[in-house]
Structure formats: structure tokens, C-alpha cells
A and B are shown apart, each in its own frame.
Chain A
Amino acid sequence: MIKVLHTGFFSTIQDWGRTGYRNKGVPVSGVMDRYSAAMANALLENEETDALLEITMTGPVLTFDAPTFIAFTGADLPATLNDNPIEAYHVHKVNTGDTLSFGKFRSGFRCYLAIKGGFLSEKVLGSRSFYRPITAENRIKAGMELPFRTYENFTPKITTIKAASLFEETELDVQPGPEYEILSEKQQKELLGSEFTIAKENNRMAYQLTQNLDAHSVNMLTSATLPGTVQLTPSGKIIILMCDGQTTGGYPRILQLSQRAISILSQKKFGDSIAFRLY
């Protein structure tokens, strides 16, 4: 088990998501930045879809009761193993009784801690991803124990990969959404030609933007939404649905982010800039 000593700001167990229940209204969940998460799992030669700890802003303090191997990627957080600084994008051996501590983020927003064999917390509806009320918890808490498999030995094929430069990107690749056509020429121009800033309201469900487009009065019937769907509310507010986002919505879907754009956006925080680019 890994015991959580301190929680940090907000950390959750996430795998590739909970698919197959969207027709019952269950969000997909899963890692926000698949690009970074996949690298952490790859270093440990895990399945791409194995569960990791998604750490937002400031990290937790964890102790291990058995040996294993870890790697972390994504947002740049200072980390120490028994008070010795350790590098991101690198495989580390952890011994029984070791303490792993993460500090406060320096760049990016979400860090991924992978463990050899993946985190083995409970699967609900086919996934280990935290999402209340599907799972009992919506974040790790102090005193919580996270199961994993013991590994005494592991010789990785590669021990280090180069850190991703994805976080410096500010352009999000998008396709026109199903209701793109309802936008006026002016709205289209502003949407694709302006820089936007991330609003305070940003989390695993959705990212809101600070700047609005013109208001509209288009009524539509509720229809499916996806992670990466950009909605326009009647008042002109732009909402980008993310991994924990609702599965249906009644606002026009004006753009759809690519999977890569979702990863880039997942590393943005309040005040950061983005722009949309058709591809």
C-alpha cells in the first residue's frame, strides 16, 4: 500500500476513463493530459491505460510499504524521495518505508505519477477513475491507502525521456462543432482570431474563458457532448467541457478540440492564454 500522509491541493486516481455508460449519463473521466500520462506509463512499461495519480498544482506526501518503481511526468513539480531531490521523466526505484514528497508546481498544472503495474484501487463500472458519485471518493485524502503490486526488480529499457514541451503551446487544434454554423461571421472571426484567457472556473469538468462572444438566442434540443466540446451559452460565455464533463448538453457546440488540444489545455490554469486554430 501507499499511505497518503498529506494530500496536497487535489489529486485523483485516473486511468483512460470509464467508457460504455455514456447512454446512462456517466461521464468518461480519465486522465486529462493523456500525452503526459502515456509517457509516465511508457517509462515503466505499463499499459498505456493503467491508472496513475493525477496531481493538480501542489503534490501529496506518500509513503510506500513495499518496493516498486515510479515515474512522473507532466507539470513541473519539485519532488523528493526521502528528502533527496528526484527528476521527472525518469524511472526511480522506491524501497519499503520510503517517503515521496511533491512540492508546488512551477509550470504546467497537472502532474502524473505512475507506478509499475499501475495503481490498483477499486474498479467501478470498468474504471478506476475517481468521479463522485460513481466512486466513493472524488480525491485522495490523508490516511487513505492506495494498493499497488510489489516489484523487487525491474530493468527498464529506457530510464529517461525528454520532458514534453507541449505546455508552452497555446494554440488548440479544433474542428468546427455541430452548431458552428449558427455563429455570425463576426462571432466566427472573434472565436478563431482572438486570444482568450482561462477563467477562475476551471476544473476536471470544464474550463470557462474570461472573454465572451456576442449573445445569441439559438435554442436547440439537448444532445450529446464530449470531452473537448466547446459550448456557447446564450449570454455568449464560452465553456470547454473536459473529461468529467456532462454527457449531454443544450448549448450550441461550436467547436471540438482534438485529443492533443485537450492535453494542452489540461496544463493551463487561471490567467493563461489560449487560441483556437482550425485544422
Chain B
Amino acid sequence: MNPYAISVKPFGEEAVLIEWPNRVEEAILKDILEFNKYLQEKLPGSGRWEQVPAYNSLTLINNKEGIDFEDMKKKLLGWYTEKKAVDPAPRYLWTLPVCYTPEYGEDLKEVADLLDYSVEELIAEHTAHNYTVYGIGFLPGFMYLGGIPKALETPRRSTPRLKVPSGSVGLAGKQTGIYPQESPGGWNIIGNCPIPIFDVTKNPPSFVSVGDKIRFYSITQGEYDLRKIEGEVGIYKPEKELLDD
């Protein structure tokens, strides 16, 4: 059963873009990830393809040879039709520690005032929801998270900062997320996550995949310091829970 009309578009000499309806929806993302998994078995020649899911699209990139678009389109539409209930790749809920203090969250007080919360209420609200990973990009390991309640929507900072520290947790518009590396950025910073979200010494370098969920929990400075050291020496294991929906 495939409830969606998908479209297949050429994307240069080396890629094909598959698009689902233009909406942010859990069900669409799940269908994309099922098809993504199914294609891992179907696409000819292992290791030649990279598959990049995001929101309502799946991009297939062939690194070794060009793509015969018309032929590939026919095959993809056929595979999508025949795809029945494949076992989707396991999805996890990751619980990530965040230290919400003015030291790490430069904009914490300002954002709380703006949203008419006390700092404690803002932390309670930010840690009360599971956020879905709709995409990974912009920076290595950067997660596009969805499912932010209206009550947490804040405008971006009018002037972006030139340097946002690695691990910073931010709010901007309908988005929340973690800066995996130090970078320029315009989000409101409310805390810092001490564990490495992206680690080149690990394979894969990022433990999170598109389709997973993230929940934050508040930690003290003491626990922050401990997790930071664990992260630096590479013994920290992020807490996860299998999602079985």
C-alpha cells in the first residue's frame, strides 16, 4: 500500500530526486525511509549510491557512473509500486543532556522573557517533547528537528553571531537543534549539549539518522563536566530507546 503519488526528477548527471507531497508529516517521512531501505537492496552495485532523505524527498546520487534517467525513473516507480511492508530500518529515540544556564545559553533569559515564561518553565517546555529528525545537513551532523510546539517559536536573532560554540542548543522559528561544530549562526542559544553529536573517529560519525527522534533533558553543571570528559575520551554512550511505531 503506497498512499502517495511520488515524482521522479533528474538532478544533473549523477543524481535522481524523488519527491513526496510538499508537507512536513511523520507518515510521509516514514514512507520515504521505508522506500530508502527497500532501495538499498534494489539499486544496482553496492557502494555506488548515496541516499539522502530529507523532509519530503529522497535524493539518490551515483558516485561512479552517470544515470540513464528514463530507465531509472521507470525502475524507481516500479519498485515504489511493488514495495510492500518492508521492515523499516530501526528508529531510535535519543535522549540528550543539555545544560541550560546563562553561561551556555546566552539568550536563555531573553527568550524566556519573549515567550512569557520563567527560565524554569522554558526549560520544562523544551524538554517535554520528542522532536523528529527530518533531515541532516547544513553542517556535518546538523539535525533539522520538527515537532516544536507553537509556544517555543521565536524569531531568529536579527544579527547572526560570527561564532556559536560547538554543542550549542538553539531555537529559531519552528526549529530547535544543536550546533555540532563551532560555526556562525543566527539562532537563539538556550543551552549546551556536552556530548559530541558528530565524531569523525566513529563510523558512522553521527549516531543519529533521519527518522530518529530527539528528546532533551536538563543537567547540572557537575553532570555537564562529567559528560564532557566522557565525550572527549570517547566513552560516552548516548541513551537510546527503540521506537516501534
- In angstroms, Cα B142 to Cα A235, docked, is 25
Q: Which of A21, A175, A177, A253 contacts B205 (CB 8 A)?
A: A21
By DSSP majority rule, is chain A's interface helix, strand, loop, or mixed? loop
A257 partner residues in chain B, CB cutoff 8 A: 12
B53 within 8 A of A: yes
- Encoded as 1 (CB less than 8 Å from any A CB) or 0, chain B from 25 to 64 comes to 0000000000000000000000100111111110101010
- In angstroms, Cα B53 to Cα A21, docked, is 12
Q: Which of B13, B15, B141 contacts A24 (CB 8 A)?
A: B141
Q: Which of B12, B56, B203, B204 contacts A228 (CB 8 A)?
A: B12
Tell me which of B102-110, B132-140, B157-165, B225-233 binds A. Answer: B132-140
A51 within 8 A of B: no
Is the CB–CB distance between A24 and B12 below 8 Å? no
Is the CB–CB distance between A246 and B57 below 8 Å? no
Is the CB–CB distance between B198 and A24 below 8 Å? yes
Within 8 A of B (CB), among A12-62: 19-27
Is the CB–CB distance between B181 and A22 below 8 Å? no
A142 partner residues in chain B, CB cutoff 8 A: none
Count of chain A residues near B, Cβ 8 A: 33
Q: Which of B22, B50, B210 contacts A20 (CB 8 A)?
A: B50
Q: Which of B57, B139, B140, B142 contacts A224 (CB 8 A)?
A: B57
The verdict on A25 contacting B139 (CB below 8 Å), with A223-B54, A224-B57, A248-B54 known, is yes
B23 CB, nearest partner CB in chain A, Å: 8
Can you name the residue of chain B whose Cβ is closest to the Cβ of A219? B22
Within 8 A of B (CB), among A128-179: 133-134, 175, 177-178
Is the CB–CB distance between B140 and A222 below 8 Å? no
B153 within 8 A of A: no
- In angstroms, Cα B154 to Cα A166, docked, is 49
- In angstroms, Cα B63 to Cα A253, docked, is 20
- In angstroms, Cα B198 to Cα A22, docked, is 13
Within 8 A of B (CB), among A105-134: 124-125, 133-134
The verdict on A224 contacting B17 (CB below 8 Å), with A19-B63, A23-B210, A24-B206 known, is yes
The verdict on A226 contacting B54 (CB below 8 Å), with A24-B141, A25-B139, A134-B140 known, is no
A267 within 8 A of B: no
- In angstroms, Cα B53 to Cα A221, docked, is 12
- In angstroms, Cα B53 to Cα A222, docked, is 10
Q: Which of A26, A134, A222 contacts B54 (CB 8 A)?
A: A222
Is the CB–CB distance between B141 and A25 below 8 Å? yes
Is the CB–CB distance between B141 and A221 below 8 Å? no
- In angstroms, Cα B52 to Cα A21, docked, is 9
Is the CB–CB distance between B24 and A221 below 8 Å? yes
Is the CB–CB distance between A221 and B12 below 8 Å? no
Q: Which of A220, A226, A229, A247 contacts B22 (CB 8 A)?
A: A220
A210 within 8 A of B: no
Is the CB–CB distance between A224 and B54 below 8 Å? yes
Is the CB–CB distance between B139 and A125 below 8 Å? no
16 A-B pairs with C-beta separation under 8 A: A22-B52, A23-B52, A25-B198, A26-B140, A133-B140, A133-B181, A175-B10, A178-B19, A220-B22, A221-B54, A221-B55, A223-B55, A226-B61, A228-B12, A247-B52, A258-B12
Closest 5 CB pairs of A and B: A248-B137, A224-B59, A256-B12, A221-B55, A224-B52
B interface residues (Cβ-Cβ under 8 A, vs A): 9-15, 17, 19, 22, 24, 47, 50-57, 59, 61, 63, 134-142, 144, 181-182, 198, 200, 203-206, 209-210
A interface residues (Cβ-Cβ under 8 A, vs B): 19-27, 124-125, 133-134, 175, 177-178, 220-224, 226, 228-229, 246-249, 253, 256-259
